Structure 1
Amino acid sequence: MGYRVADAIVDSMVAHGVDRGFSVPGESFLALLDALHERRDFDLVTCRHEGSAALAAIADAKLTGRPGIVMASRGPGAFNAAIGVHVASEEAIPLILLIGQVDTPNLGKGAVQEIDSSRAFLGSLKWSGRIDRADTTGEIMGRAFAAAVSGTPGPVAVELPEDVLARVMAQQPARVHGHAVPGASLDEIGRVHELLANAHRPILIVGGECRSPEFRRDLQELVDLWDVPVALTNKNQDQFSNLDPHWIGQLSFFASPAHTALFSEADLLIAIGSRMGDVSSLGFAFPRQEPTPQRFVHVYPDPGIIGRHFQTELPIVSTAHEFVRAVLRHAKPAATSAAWMQRVAEAANRSHGWQPENTLADDVMGHAVMALNRLAKRDAILTTDSGNFASWVHRIFRMTPENRLLGSACGAMGTGVPAAVAAGLRFPGREVLAFVGDGGFLMNGNELITAVDRRLQLRVVISNNGSYGTIRTHQQRHFPSRVSGTDLVNPKFSALAEAFGAHGFRIENAKEAADVVKQAMAVDGPAVIEICCDPDISVDRSLKWD
């Protein structure tokens, strides 16, 4: 059979540190599947839908810092995986989509399912290429990996004509092009210290550009050195300990009045590892631009991002970790006033403080999540799908860097279960809690069978309120008592879980929440905890918001 282009592609992925890919098999990349048959250094995860395969690959990329790999056939397969292209672009996650393509003699002839990925995903891909000659395999794959991780990370696509995949070639070392990692200069670090020394009400905003344990340890050291309050961007609540007095909270879609007031008083904002989009800037409100702009330091590895939306007093082209390392090498301690730290504590408590005594008897979700929080292991991995139910998770769980949080920062439904599968595979035996709504589960919950197949220690917590709850909330706000198109008829999810071969549990009222959760957390293997709740019950009732 000889050494084929397909074998070279696998060697390239392994050379770039990738050891896992997610796929729905297609006849257009049979040679690639064959090349993986006897590999012990690469785990091919067979999924039930290309969309969930792509979302699982994105979660794996968040956990490893390396590009996620998804393999799909052309046409329907690629377009099913398109949600991953969108999410990776929105959330700046490196993703490589390998697309099986028609054979080279039929390219451009409109053969069955043929697509041009560069046009099909225009505006979302960072780069696209095609391996149409055997001798370009190493170059194309090297460029794909470099493009996915450089600057602002994101998705790339590589088309694989099926006849080229099977071509025999001379074996060559895989090409690893590498990418530049920018860092802050000594002058820039000095200027940051100068701005910080003159600030009375500073805030440090931390995004998800780097998620490694080493970065989180260094971040804690930096915060202790600077004595500066920390706000985390959406779905990055695990980047910094929520138990630390410097923690302000998570900046999410609906800012609390306490957060808004605190940011309006700040006289210096330092953002690292965030593009400072609409959610991270509380609707492009901060840093304030007029009448008097707030002083703003923006640290990000892509110069095209800095200055896009805000007047920036000090732009620094650097990765978040390189910046933090540079500051620590040239340490200059600072001190924040006790009055400002008191304001920070008040804002954190008003935005995230959960009062169990305020949790009403009909708040089934609140009681269930409190029970899960009590029993969850200290290093549990949490995934959240998109939906109002996630508010209970973010406010009840106090996360630390020992946890990992994989959330749908851009609001893509269907993320929760595929992300949990990726986490369970990446950390075998570690406890994984996937929080999903009924709508999101019925999008990609079929990957529960993958968890059953792999014997993952996964708990899928389903908020069954018979509704697309977030949209219903918007409807009630804009068109009171005129609910339209958001009601759902659902199966009994606990029974469905058992049909999948998982354990099924059901919570119908708050009184039984603690006991059912205890039973579910004790079983071995995947389990589903179905929580029957009212779509019109809000998390806000157990908060002390202004």
Structure 2
Amino acid sequence: MSQQTGPAQEGPTRTGGRLLVESLLAHNPPLWTCVPGESFLPILDALIDPSNDGTAKLVTTRHESAAGNMAEAAGKLTGRPAVCLVTRGPGATHASIAVHTAHQDGTPLILIVGQVPRAHLRREAFQEMDYRAVFGSFAKDVVEIMEADRIPEHVAHAVHTSMSGRPGPVVLVVPEDVLDAPTPARPTRAAVATSPPICASDWNTLRTELAAARRPCLVVGGPGWSTPAAAQVAAFAERNQVPVVTPFRWQDAIDNTSPSFAGYLGLGCSPRLRQLLTSADLVVALGPRLDDPTTGGYAFPSPESRLVTVSRSRDELGRFPLPDVAIHADPASACERLEGAVLDDLPERVAWYNELRAQQVEFSTPPRGAETSRQGVDLTLVVRHVRDSVPDDSVITNGAGNYTVWVQRFFGYRDFGTQLAPRNGAMGYALPAGLAAAQLHPERVVVTFAGDGCFLMSGSELATAVRHGLRLIVIVVNNSMFGTIRMHQERRFPGRAIATDLTNPDFVAYAESFGALGVRVTDTVDFPDVFKRALDYNGPALIEIVTDPEQITPDQRITTVG
């Protein structure tokens, strides 16, 4: 159970807004973001108080969706809830995309929404909304704080809820007059509940299942994953020749160069891997939720496979696909036990291990002759060049669209905490996520991949990057279309494309208008020099690469999709 370290005892009188800031600071949020609004002015005023001492890193964005996405990405990177401040009505609904991302991705997040004064509630006052109705289906909790004296209690509970079990978003709604109200209450802090370590009987069961399997597979990642867990799993898997796959957009959960890494599941994954995994006799989900993209529409694991699920969240153990063995435990503790475990050699398991690794090596190798005769820039070679040019701890971000298939397939993540991508498929995520990484880790290289459609959903945040002096490289993949939807159109209604062609601005001029570096690349051979220039640039840089609109995936042309 989470326990308060002290009650909200009486102290010097302060406003509700100041108490809210102090209560949040007590929980050490990694980042604060906002679009300023009149409904939470006392909060903003408290953030400039000298006592803050710079501990609240406030970034003002140009749109609430970007503010929310930045905060969500900060939660992914740190495992702690960042704070996003938005005004009521339109501000809150703009930020709802990030709340949904945090919900489906299992990311801790605190969204603070200013509300109309208490005396105006239930009158459909200006920008008034019922936030329990708006956010109730995709937030872990939605709380309207009606008394200033209870702010510390509600904040502590919100942080506890956001980080407990399967992490997620919590929405705190605060009426204007509550923020203005004087209160003698003091900040308090709640300890975050931890999941139990794996017990001896559950460990014996897990080990027995693994020892008996001829064609096992580990699916690793999920909330609470860590660099030590990645190394421990790799050590076990390589020693015992057990293949490891990662869920959708948890690719950095294991070093992709490990001989145990058999690939990733999700959109754009290897069809051969999907086919091979139907023969698995044991699937161990070590941490992640087996969601729709990961399971290919809930077709994996096959009915013939035994499923062991290890989850920090008791609730997740009752979700479909239902496990044969359900273990409620911190996956990190299971990884610690696995690190030193030794299984008997089984020739069938060794052959299975080698077969899965071989298909991953083949899949991640650029197709022979791919795109060499195509017009525009070869995105495969661009992704490979980025991989070879940046340190292993570089953070790579992307949003949604077919361009992400190239990144997932050819980048090859080496360290945990280097992939920021929306598992709910939200466009417009890439640039705000890159800003969050650059703000939190100015010492690391940050590369953002965004399609032309995806980028312009948050492109104005280049102004945020320039204002805050954030160094990142944005690679805009310009094929002048919403490529994913066009692909689906061609599959279902061949030759009848509609609403997917795009008219784009001059991206170089666009970047330069904000004060960022902008460069356009139309020939693959020019990319290395341009990328080196961007790496050396002391500020945000945008590289537009013009790609062939006919090349819809690394392997397919639009004319062959159907």
Query: How does the TM-score come out when normalised to structure 2?
Result: 0.91
How far off is 1:201 after superposition? 1.0
How far off is 1:411 after superposition? 0.7
SS state at 1:170 partner: strand
- The answer for the alignment partner of 1:395 in structure 2 is 409
Bigger Cα displacement from structure 2, 405-414 vs 351-360: 351-360
- The answer for the alignment partner of 2:99 in structure 1 is 85
1:151–1:301: 8 Å Cα contact kept in structure 2? yes
- In the alignment, the residues of structure 2 paired with residue 237 and residue 181 of structure 1 have an alpha-carbon distance, to the nearest angstrom, of 24
Q: Write the deviation string for residues 380-435 of structure 1: whole angstroms up to 9, x where unpaired.
A: 11001101111221222121116600012111000000000000011013110000
- The answer for the alignment partner of 2:22 in structure 1 is 11
User: What does residue range 183-202 of structure 1 map to in structure 2 within 5 Å?
Assistant: 183-202=197-216
- The answer for the alignment partner of 2:500 in structure 1 is 486
Partner amino acid for 2:391? K
Q: Does 1:507 align with 2:521?
A: yes
How far off is 1:35 after superposition? 0.6
The percentage of counterpart residues that share the same residue type is 35
SS state at 1:97 partner: strand
Q: 1:474 aligns with which of 488, 491, 497?
A: 488
1:70–1:96: 8 Å Cα contact kept in structure 2? yes
- The answer for the alignment partner of 1:295 in structure 2 is 306
Bigger Cα displacement from structure 2, 493-502 vs 9-18: 9-18
Bigger Cα displacement from structure 2, 311-320 vs 49-58: 311-320
- The answer for the alignment partner of 1:250 in structure 2 is 264
How far off is 1:320 after superposition? 2.1
- In the alignment, the residues of structure 2 paired with residue 358 and residue 10 of structure 1 have an alpha-carbon distance, to the nearest angstrom, of 54
How far off is 1:50 after superposition? 0.5
Q: Does 1:366 align with 2:380?
A: yes
Partner amino acid for 1:160? V
Q: Write the deviation string for residues 179-210 of structure 1: whole angstroms up to 9, x where unpaired.
A: 24233211010011111111111100013212
1:356–1:542: 8 Å Cα contact kept in structure 2? no
Q: Does 1:59 align with 2:70?
A: no
- In the alignment, the residues of structure 2 paired with residue 44 and residue 515 of structure 1 have an alpha-carbon distance, to the nearest angstrom, of 35
- The answer for the alignment partner of 1:348 in structure 2 is 360
- In the alignment, the residues of structure 1 paired with residue 413 and residue 27 of structure 2 have an alpha-carbon distance, to the nearest angstrom, of 31
SS state at 1:71 partner: strand
- The answer for the alignment partner of 2:316 in structure 1 is 305
How far off is 1:306 after superposition? 1.8
How far off is 1:377 after superposition? 2.6
Q: Provide closer, same or farther for how the CA distance between residues 73 and 266 of structure 1 changes in structure 2, counting only shifts above 3 A.
A: same
Q: Does 1:324 align with 2:335?
A: yes
How far off is 1:333 after superposition? 4.4
1:382–1:403: 8 Å Cα contact kept in structure 2? no
Q: Does 1:131 align with 2:142?
A: no
- In the alignment, the residues of structure 2 paired with residue 302 and residue 239 of structure 1 have an alpha-carbon distance, to the nearest angstrom, of 19
How far off is 1:224 after superposition? 4.1
- In the alignment, the residues of structure 2 paired with residue 47 and residue 118 of structure 1 have an alpha-carbon distance, to the nearest angstrom, of 25
1:13–1:19: 8 Å Cα contact kept in structure 2? no
1:378–1:403: 8 Å Cα contact kept in structure 2? no
- In the alignment, the residues of structure 2 paired with residue 21 and residue 84 of structure 1 have an alpha-carbon distance, to the nearest angstrom, of 14
Q: Does 1:68 align with 2:82?
A: yes
RMSD: 2.0
Q: Provide closer, same or farther for how the CA distance between residues 386 and 2 of structure 1 changes in structure 2, counting only shifts above 3 A.
A: same
- The answer for the alignment partner of 2:292 in structure 1 is 278
- The answer for the alignment partner of 2:5 in structure 1 is none
How far off is 1:535 after superposition? 1.9
The aligned length equals 539
Partner amino acid for 2:372? L
Q: Provide closer, same or farther for how the CA distance between residues 356 and 257 of structure 1 changes in structure 2, counting only shifts above 3 A.
A: closer
Q: Provide closer, same or farther for how the CA distance between residues 374 and 326 of structure 1 changes in structure 2, counting only shifts above 3 A.
A: closer
SS state at 1:120 partner: helix
- In the alignment, the residues of structure 1 paired with residue 240 and residue 501 of structure 2 have an alpha-carbon distance, to the nearest angstrom, of 50
Partner amino acid for 2:145? I
Q: Provide closer, same or farther for how the CA distance between residues 169 and 225 of structure 1 changes in structure 2, counting only shifts above 3 A.
A: farther
1:193–1:332: 8 Å Cα contact kept in structure 2? no
Bigger Cα displacement from structure 2, 434-443 vs 520-529: 520-529
How far off is 1:356 after superposition? 6.7
User: What does residue range 441-480 of structure 1 map to in structure 2 within 5 Å?
Assistant: 441-480=455-494
Q: 1:219 aligns with which of 219, 229, 233?
A: 233
- In the alignment, the residues of structure 2 paired with residue 441 and residue 521 of structure 1 have an alpha-carbon distance, to the nearest angstrom, of 20
How far off is 1:326 after superposition? 4.5
User: What does residue range 116-127 of structure 1 map to in structure 2 within 5 Å?
Assistant: 116-127=130-141
- In the alignment, the residues of structure 2 paired with residue 307 and residue 402 of structure 1 have an alpha-carbon distance, to the nearest angstrom, of 28
- In the alignment, the residues of structure 2 paired with residue 449 and residue 302 of structure 1 have an alpha-carbon distance, to the nearest angstrom, of 40
How far off is 1:177 after superposition? 4.7
1:361–1:510: 8 Å Cα contact kept in structure 2? no
SS state at 2:86 partner: strand
Q: Does 1:35 align with 2:52?
A: no
2:211–2:343: 8 Å Cα contact kept in structure 1? no
2:230–2:255: 8 Å Cα contact kept in structure 1? no
Q: Write the deviation string for residues 26-67 of structure 1: whole angstroms up to 9, x where unpaired.
A: 000000000101322111111111011111111000011001
SS state at 1:339 partner: helix
Partner amino acid for 1:304? D
- In the alignment, the residues of structure 1 paired with residue 100 and residue 421 of structure 2 have an alpha-carbon distance, to the nearest angstrom, of 15
- In the alignment, the residues of structure 1 paired with residue 276 and residue 533 of structure 2 have an alpha-carbon distance, to the nearest angstrom, of 42
Q: 2:449 aligns with which of 435, 450, 456?
A: 435
How far off is 1:319 after superposition? 2.8
Query: How does the TM-score come out when normalised to structure 1?
Result: 0.94
Q: Provide closer, same or farther for how the CA distance between residues 335 and 68 of structure 1 changes in structure 2, counting only shifts above 3 A.
A: farther
1:359–1:367: 8 Å Cα contact kept in structure 2? no
- In the alignment, the residues of structure 1 paired with residue 145 and residue 191 of structure 2 have an alpha-carbon distance, to the nearest angstrom, of 17
- In the alignment, the residues of structure 2 paired with residue 103 and residue 389 of structure 1 have an alpha-carbon distance, to the nearest angstrom, of 46
Q: Provide closer, same or farther for how the CA distance between residues 426 and 356 of structure 1 changes in structure 2, counting only shifts above 3 A.
A: farther
Q: Does 1:22 align with 2:33?
A: yes
How far off is 1:246 after superposition? 0.1
**Structure 2 gap segments, 5+ residues each:** 1-11, 558-562
Q: Does 1:338 align with 2:350?
A: yes
Q: Does 1:377 align with 2:391?
A: yes
Q: Does 1:204 align with 2:204?
A: no
How far off is 1:138 after superposition? 1.2
Bigger Cα displacement from structure 2, 411-420 vs 159-168: 159-168
Q: 2:190 aligns with which of 155, 171, 176?
A: 176
Bigger Cα displacement from structure 2, 352-361 vs 339-348: 352-361
1:299–1:316: 8 Å Cα contact kept in structure 2? yes
**Structure 1 gap segments, 5+ residues each:** none
Bigger Cα displacement from structure 2, 274-283 vs 44-53: 274-283
Q: Write the deviation string for residues 275-303 of structure 1: whole angstroms up to 9, x where unpaired.
A: 111112222112112xxx31110111222
How far off is 1:149 after superposition? 1.4
